[in-house]
């Protein structure tokens, strides 16, 4: 990263390579981005310290892990008071099948991506957990029929 915090071409190449393979050895990464190993390591550490690189993860196959289906759930709360929103958010974070939760503008307050084994599994999650979250007024669910595109690499701009 340059001193002003913007990314240069080499930083973007480093981020591209690491998004494809976070286990890439520094020596291989340095070779791919045409840097010495020490210069490459300094840049990676700077990207980590700046928060641009937040961590390294392994991507687990969702279907092989026993959760072949995605359900997109919109939730509308009874109230949008800050305390009610905070209570909902605190509780939804405790549900391991909820992979994403986004506060939304528009008709619904939240959009969730929930992973499930099948419709019966979702029915269990819906009746035991989602409808019992603090302040829930309405729950609307849509099963994804097929995933057409799912990216893990973010486009990195300068």
pLDDT, tens digit, 9 for 90 and up, residues 62-115: 999 999 999 999 999 999 999 999 999 999 999 999 999 999 999 999 999 999
CA separation, residue 153 to residues 17, 85, 99, 157 (Å)? 10, 30, 17, 12
The mean per-residue pLDDT over the stretch 42-66 comes to 96
CB 109 within 8 A of CB 86: no
Q: How confident is the model at residue 157 (pLDDT cuts 50, 70, 90)?
A: confident
Residue 101 φ/ψ, nearest 5 degrees: -140, 120
Same domain, 76 and 139: yes
| 78 and 138 fall within a common domain | yes
8 A C-beta contact, residue 88 and residue 82:
no
The reply to whether 156 falls in a domain is no
Query: Domain range spanning residue 124?
Result: 69-143
User: pTM value?
Assistant: 0.89
Q: In this predicted structure, what is the pLDDT of residue 139?
A: 98
Confidence of residue 5 (pLDDT cuts 50, 70, 90): low
Residue 2: inside a domain: no
Residue 96 falls inside a structural domain: yes
Given this model, what pLDDT does residue 1 score?
64
């Amino acid at each position: 990263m340059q001193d002003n915090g913007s990314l240069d071409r080499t930083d973007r190449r480093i981020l591209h390579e690491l998004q494809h393979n976070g286990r890439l050895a520094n020596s291989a990464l340095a070779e791919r981005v045409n840097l010495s190993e020490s210069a490459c390591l300094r840049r990676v550490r700077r990207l980590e310290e700046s928060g641009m690189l937040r961590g390294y993860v392994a991507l687990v196959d969702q279907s092989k892990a026993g959760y072949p289906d995605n359900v997109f759930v919109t939730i509308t709360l009874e109230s949008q008071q800050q305390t009610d929103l905070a209570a909902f958010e605190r509780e939804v974070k405790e549900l391991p099948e909820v992979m994403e939760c986004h506060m939304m503008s528009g008709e619904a307050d939240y959009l969730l991506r929930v992973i499930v084994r099948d419709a019966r599994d979702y029915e269990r999650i819906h009746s035991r957990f989602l409808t019992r979250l603090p302040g829930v007024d309405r729950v609307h669910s849509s099963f994804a029929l097929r995933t057409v595109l799912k990216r893990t690499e973010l486009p990195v701009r300068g």
